[in-house]
Amino acid sequence: MKFVKPLIALAVLVGLFLLSKTAFAIVLALLLALVALAVWVKGGSQPADASIPKSLDGPAFRTYESTGSGSPLRLRHFISQPEEINVSSSLIMGTHEVICVTAQPTKFAAERLADMIEETGLKLTYVYLDHAHLDHSQGAAVLIKRFPDAKFVGAPNVVALQHLRMEADDKMARARYGDNAAVPSVPFEALDAGKLMLEGHEIQLWHDQFGDVGIGEPDEPHTVIYIPDLKALLPTDICYWQGHIMMGGSTPDSRARWKQQIREWMQMDLNVVIPGHVVRAESPSMTAQGVLEFSLDYIDAYEDVLDSSATSDEVIARMQDLYPDLGHVSALHIGTFILFGETHRLLFNNRIEKIFGLLPAGLRRSLDHKMFASRKAAANF
């Protein structure tokens, strides 16, 4: 069947050649021009291979133990490289079992995470998916090979979204990470529970929390994990440390609920907060209250800048002036392009941007809108 369309095209060309040599020459020239344009446009893409890290240099990963409660639970924090957008995974360790929260975005990161799980000498029982974004789910493709007996689980609404997005996630992972893409996606299983038990100790699962959504709906679900024995909170992509927060897809309402959650956590007696993304070089200075304050301040600052800027470029420039040293600037770009409906800029292809720059504003907006609507429809119920 896949030969039908090329055969029809060939028949049309042959027919045209027999009918009129001039028409044939014009159509052939147009086709060649289109192919040349496509090759030129493709050359403007950022190369995917640039994102493969060579090693896991940087600060040592930290382990947190209980202070005072006498609990045997411990928490170990893994962070991927800057090219892999510094994704946090947390190992919640008992005396003979371990639970892993977040599977990492790439092959390289997930292999290093698997090494760290093996080094604990404990049995991996669960890999928990805290929200349905590829930077937290793709690494399951590696982990399932290394730990075939582990259960890969998440809240039912998180897992349903992950299943819906698997094909698009694989495509995006290949485009972004090239040989470092962890594919194909592993479907997580729905676990309808408010807690996990680790050797008799409770790990609380707080479902339906609000955070970064990208092309999702503003109320896209995140599961926040709280470990009472360690006074440890894992707020996933609701908090970051020393990196730009992805604000795309948020609304004034969702940001108000997002900030309210953080304010409530600030009232808790917490020893540890491990956010979804942590700039590795800055991880030694991370503290529980510091993470919450940084995240709240950043969202407040972003809202002020967003409300008083005319263009996405202005928002990006002003946020970089306010926060000149923050990592993963790509999150600032992606989030702001989404909020301004500039879908073509999410392709990160300077030649496509040139072509769009030549189009009338109305046509540009309409194309952007159509592209975004189809992306959103494919990634949401």
Smaller CB distance to Zn ion: residue 81 or 125?
81
- In the bound state with Zn ion, the residue whose beta carbon lies nearer, of 213 and 232, is 213
Between 125 and 162, CB nearer to Zn ion = 162
Kindly report the CA angle at 366 between 361 and 369, in degrees rounded to 5? 125
Closest CA to 96 of 20, 224, 199, 230: 199
Angle at 46 between CA 42 and CA 47, to 5 degrees: 90
CB of 247 to Zn ion, least distance (A): 13
Nearer to Zn ion by Cβ, of 94 and 243: the residue is: 243
Kindly tell me the burial class for residue 287, based on how many C-beta atoms sit within 10 Å of its own C-beta (0-12, 13-18, 19 or more).
middle
- Alpha helices by DSSP H, listed for 147-186, are 156-177
Nearer to Zn ion, 135 or 342 (CB): 135
Q: What is the CA radius of gyration of the chain?
A: 23
Distance between CA atoms of residues 191 and 123, nearest Å = 20
Q: In this complex, which beta carbon is closest to Zn ion, that of residue 231 or of residue 328?
A: 328
Q: Nearest approach, Cβ of 177 to Zn ion (angstroms)?
A: 14
* CA 204 – CA 155 distance, rounded (Å): 12
The minimum distance between CB 276 and Zn ion, in angstroms, equals: 5
Q: Find, among 189, 224, 220, 186, the residue nearest to 205 by Cα.
A: 224
**CA–CA gap between residue 24 and residue 36 (Å, rounded):** 18
Our CB check for Zn ion shows the closer of 216 and 276 to be 276
- Smallest distance from the beta carbon of 361 to Zn ion, in angstroms? 33
Give the nearest distance from C-beta 68 to Zn ion in angstroms. 32
Q: Is 156 helix (H, G, I), strand (E, B) or coil?
A: helix
Nearest to 201 by CA among 72, 320, 299, 26: 72
Closer residue to Zn ion (CB): 213 or 315: 213
Measure CA 195 to chain center: 25
Cα–Cα distance measured from residue 226 to residue 202, given in angstroms and rounded to the nearest whole number: 9
Residues 6+ away with beta carbon under 8 Å from 68: none
Least Å distance, CB 135 to Zn ion, is: 4
Please report how close the Cβ of residue 237 comes to Zn ion at its closest, in angstroms: 4
85 or 296: CB nearest Zn ion: 85
C-beta neighbour count of 162 within 10 angstroms: 25
Rounded to a whole number of angstroms, the minimum distance from the CB of residue 277 to Zn ion is: 6
By CB under 5 A, name the binding residues for Zn ion: 135, 237, 276
CB of 91 to Zn ion, least distance (A): 18
